[in-house]
Amino acid sequence: MNKVDKPLAGITVVELGHSVAAPYAGLILADLGARVIKVENPGAGDYARGWGPPFFQGTASAFHSLNRGKEGVAVDFTDAAQAEALRGLILAEADAVIQNLRPGILEKFGLTGEALREIKPELIWCDIGAFGTAGPLSKKPGYDPLAQASTGIMSITGEGNRPPVRVGVSLIDMGSGMWSVIGLLAGLLARKETGVGRTVSTSLFETGLAWMTVPLAGYEASGEVRKPFGSGTAEIAPYQCFETSDGWLMIAAGNDNLYRKLCGALGLESIADHPDFAANAARVINRERLISQISAVTSQISTDELGRKLDVAGVPNAPLLTVDQVSQHPQTRALDMTVRCTEDDIDLMGVPLAFDGERPRARSRAPKLGEHNAILAEDRRKEVAHAR
């Protein structure tokens, strides 16, 4: 790819990250063309290295998926020489730093955004915290499921009167990484005009609150505490998975016109204009009666046949696919979403972006622990750092 295809070519980012949030931000930036230098503890390294099985080439597949395209260095912050080498690397090379380390760690070693930006004002520093910088929970450590629980996401996920269920992917961690990237890119744009960087901050808790935008608005408007609706949603009906004779099909009749088309496709014309169901607000109120009538029909039809019927009628639908089916699905393949890195033969997911029809991607494999430590020893970095 040429430079046009890699919009962040020439940008260097240091990732002081572990687990998912900061590494996912680094992955996005690497695919966009930035040079991303991942910093790990020289002991066990990033926790995600051990998140298995499954493992690939001795390292958890989760680590590979989040860290391809990066260089990797191992730094013991308690070793003054190593901490100084990292400091020199940031001051000499970095346009931005992304960090999601436990609160207080960087302060111990003078590696905070405040300290480094005082020396290098053009640096963009991105903090990904747990519960935010203020409030009674600000000092608590955080992980994705804690944020899903404490921001209300778990309360509206799953089915009513059943035990809590978390969203099956690291929605909060990955979302926090995305917000960090958005803030970083905004900082880069502003720096072009001012020459000055900035400190960008987000947190898992804030990201969870942002994902709750619609449910929280519903509460503010009505005072109603919404229950979970399984595959459905509180505000629209019918808008959920329906069981077929051999599986499940997600049907999204998101407006009154689509509802009427659904009724026609299923032979349920008698309820298309019934006052209890004709408008979405009425369907939401009478949800259980409506769903039972639709389910009685869908359960007699195969997933493929039902999908074809609804396609002809113009009703949005999609089958419920398992992980293996998604991996091999022709739509996944047609979009060229997966990446095979050099030295690897494992398919890893790319970023959902394309520029002029071409998908940007970094193809170097995830680094081995401390693989690129030589870049910390370059004398010119120390010279630049001391000159500032």
Over the stretch 190-219, which tens digit does the pLDDT of each residue have?
999 999 999 999 999 999 999 999 999 999
What does the alpha-carbon distance between residue 94 and residue 121 come to, in Å, rounded to a whole number? 12
pLDDT greater than 80 at residue 14: yes
User: How far, rounded to the nearest angstrom, does the alpha carbon of residue 286 sit from its chain's CA centroid?
Assistant: 35
CATH topology (fold) of 248-319: formyl-coa transferase, domain 3 (3.30.1540)
Residue from 95, 127, 144, 173 carrying the catalytic annotation: 173
Q: Which stretches does DSSP call E strand in the chain?
A: 12-16, 35-40, 55-56, 59-60, 71-74, 96-99, 124-129, 199-203, 239-243, 248-252, 317-319, 338-340, 347-349
Over the stretch 78-102, which tens digit does the pLDDT of each residue have?
999 999 999 999 999 999 999 999 8
CA-closest candidate to residue 174, choices 364, 357, 349: 349
Residue 34: how many other CB atoms lie within 10 Å: 26
Q: Give me the pLDDT at residue 382, please.
A: 54
Residue 173 a catalytic site member? yes
Is residue 40 within 8 Å of residue 72, measured between CB atoms?
yes
Q: Give me the pLDDT at residue 4, please.
A: 45
Q: What is the pTM of this model?
A: 0.93
Task: Report the pLDDT averaged over residues 159-185.
Answer: 96
- Give the 3-state DSSP-derived string for 115-135, with helices as H, strands as E and coil as C: HHHHHCCCCEEEEEECCCCCC
Task: Report the pLDDT averaged over residues 265-269.
Answer: 97
pLDDT greater than 90 at residue 187: yes
Q: Give me the pLDDT at residue 209, please.
A: 98
Is residue 18 within 8 Å of residue 102, measured between CB atoms?
no
Over the stretch 334-362, which tens digit does the pLDDT of each residue have?
999 999 998 888 999 999 999 998 899 99
Chain mean pLDDT for the chain: 94
Architecture of domain 3-211+334-387: 3-Layer(aba) Sandwich (3.40)
| Of 285 and 4, the one with more pLDDT | 285
Task: Report the pLDDT averaged over residues 1-22.
Answer: 86
Residue 325: how many other CB atoms lie within 10 Å: 11
Amino acid at the residue 97: V
| Domain ranges (residues) in the chain | 3-211+334-387, 248-319
Q: Give me the pLDDT at residue 386, please.
A: 55
